[in-house]
Amino acid sequence: MPQKTIELLQLGQTANLKDKYRKGNVIYLGDEGDIVITGDIHGHRRNFERVVSFAKLDSNPERHLILQEIIHGGPTDKEGRCLSYELLFDVIQYKLQYPDNVHILMSNHDTSFICNREIMKDGREMNLAMRQALDEKFGDKSEDVKMAITEYLLSQPLAVKCNNGLWASHSLPSERNWDKFDTAIFEREIVVDDLMRTGSVYLLTWGRNQSQKLLNNAAEKLGVKTFVLGHQSQPDGWLKAGENLIIIASDHSHGCLIICDLNKSYTAEELKNKIVALSSIL
């Protein structure tokens, strides 16, 4: 079983890197079809199932589905160990089934696993909780599985950029760190130092509370119009957090997704009408 799991992770890593729409660390989408964007999932299997049911990729070959922040949350074993790795493996299987339609973005919880850094969620240290669950599951092969997970997570793209002016990433750098952020990270190979506190992947995935000035500057620098982000907790499932920013969450009973056409430009106000509550999906 450990070897099959490692092989799955390696296949997922290759699928991420060979994605036909990927250039550098960005997925570039054109004018055909539509795009479904989810927020953080955090081990919420039922909501992932709802997303899959909604996307219907078998009958929508020109649809793109954006997923993010799969790990840390959801079911635990009787000792409280985090079992979200099980959903991660299923998401990778889904990516392998639709390698050029499913795109999984790197998140701050991914960077914490890669760097084996403490990260809290709901009063628990999630990195340790998941690593302990992997130890329980894979025994003396758990370190090999953890390394394969690390390499897989490192292979994930950082953002999606669409011709219609839409940009999706886990977050954006905060106000005080924008000047430290190097946009070359979207083009060059990611190394572990990029995930440390002063690195550009860290700044991208951990930033919060972006001002309108920052959003305008970021839009101009990145050549986009409207942002869809996750990362920041949304009890209602979504928030219009700026003139050109929607934040969504997909990890609880009020979770949402966004669906929109790739041949039409959207303002954040217009995207509000493209939000779908996950609870409405059978």
Q: What is the mean pLDDT of the chain?
A: 97
Q: What pLDDT is stored for residue 228 in this prediction?
A: 98
Residues in the chain with pLDDT values less than 70: none
Predicted TM-score (pTM) of this structure: 0.97
CATH number of 2-280: 3.60.21.10
User: d(Cα 55, Cα 35) in Å, to the nearest integer?
Assistant: 9
Cβ atoms of 155 and 189 within 8 Å: the answer is: no
User: d(Cα 275, Cα 278) in Å, to the nearest integer?
Assistant: 9
Residue pLDDT, tens place only, 29-59 = 999 999 999 999 999 999 999 999 999 999 9
SS (H, E, C) 241-272: EECCEEEEECCCCCCEEEEEECCCCCCHHHHH
Cβ atoms of 107 and 69 within 8 Å: the answer is: yes
Six-digit token pair at 97?
């089934």
